[in-house]
Copies of this chain bind each other. A is one copy, B any other.
Amino acid sequence: MAFSLMPKTTEFFDLFDMQAENLVQGSRLFLEIVNEKKFEDVSAERMHALEHKGDEINHKIVNVLNETFVTPFDREDILALAGNMDNIIDAMYLITKRLSIYKIKETTPELKQYAVLLEKSVLTLQKMVKTMRLGSKAMKETLKYCVEINRLENEGDALRDKAITHLFEESKDPIFIIKWKEIYEAAESATDMCEFVANTVETILVKNN
């Protein structure tokens, strides 16, 4: 990637770092919610605050883009990266909200595993965004993080299959099944969102190589 570290480039990557840090906060809150069974409305509200912060950072990126002539990579890729990062906190909020709406009282081993997996994915994503700033000299490292995020998404897929299998084996209550099936699918979808960010980064690297 042959981009130079012009002032605006720094600004973009600072905002991407802020967005990544917000995701890390979100994943830690999710861990706390799941491990301490804090499935009530107030938890969803706490996640909502982070979701709102994600929106604000996203809008700031769009605004900087509007004022900038030279960008570190294509304008539409900056928008895609920002939008896809924002989707992750949206997905975390969605799960938290479902846990509250469905009045969930107990947690499951698989939901706990998702919370751990999500934190791992988001921490890897944070490193990926940090090395991306270094451009072509760190390209191999950036790609390594992309691969790791993809691997974690595969874990997320396998975890959903395991969770759904258990769910249908152990419960005969259709309403319970409807609720938990959606919760697991939403959790899996959050790891998908991390993969989309990794794929966007891969596309950016390919285009700017």
Copies of this chain in its oligomeric complex:
3
Q: Which of A6-14, A21-29, A122-130, A200-208 lies at the interface?
A: A200-208
Q: A62-B206, A65-B206, A75-B207 are in contact. Are A174 and B172 (CB under 8 A)?
A: no
CA distance A123 to B70 in the complex (A): 36
Residue in contact with A178 in the complex, picked from B65, B79, B177, CB distance below 8 Å: B177
User: With an 8 A cutoff between CB atoms, is A4 at the interface?
Assistant: no
Contact between A164 and B209, CB atoms less than 8 A apart: no
User: With an 8 A cutoff between CB atoms, is A2 at the interface?
Assistant: no
Residue in contact with A97 in the complex, picked from B65, B102, B161, CB distance below 8 Å: B161
Q: A174-B175, A174-B178 are in contact. Are A203 and B97 (CB under 8 A)?
A: no
List of B residues within 8 angstroms of A97 by Cβ: 161
Contact between A101 and B165, CB atoms less than 8 A apart: yes
Contact between A203 and B79, CB atoms less than 8 A apart: yes
User: With an 8 A cutoff between CB atoms, is A199 at the interface?
Assistant: yes
List of B residues within 8 angstroms of A53 by Cβ: none
CA distance A178 to B164 in the complex (A): 12
Contact between A75 and B206, CB atoms less than 8 A apart: yes
Residue in contact with A203 in the complex, picked from B76, B102, B181, B207, CB distance below 8 Å: B76
Q: List 13 A-B contacts (CB under 8 A).
A: A62-B206, A66-B206, A76-B206, A79-B203, A79-B206, A83-B199, A101-B165, A102-B168, A172-B175, A174-B174, A174-B175, A174-B178, A178-B181
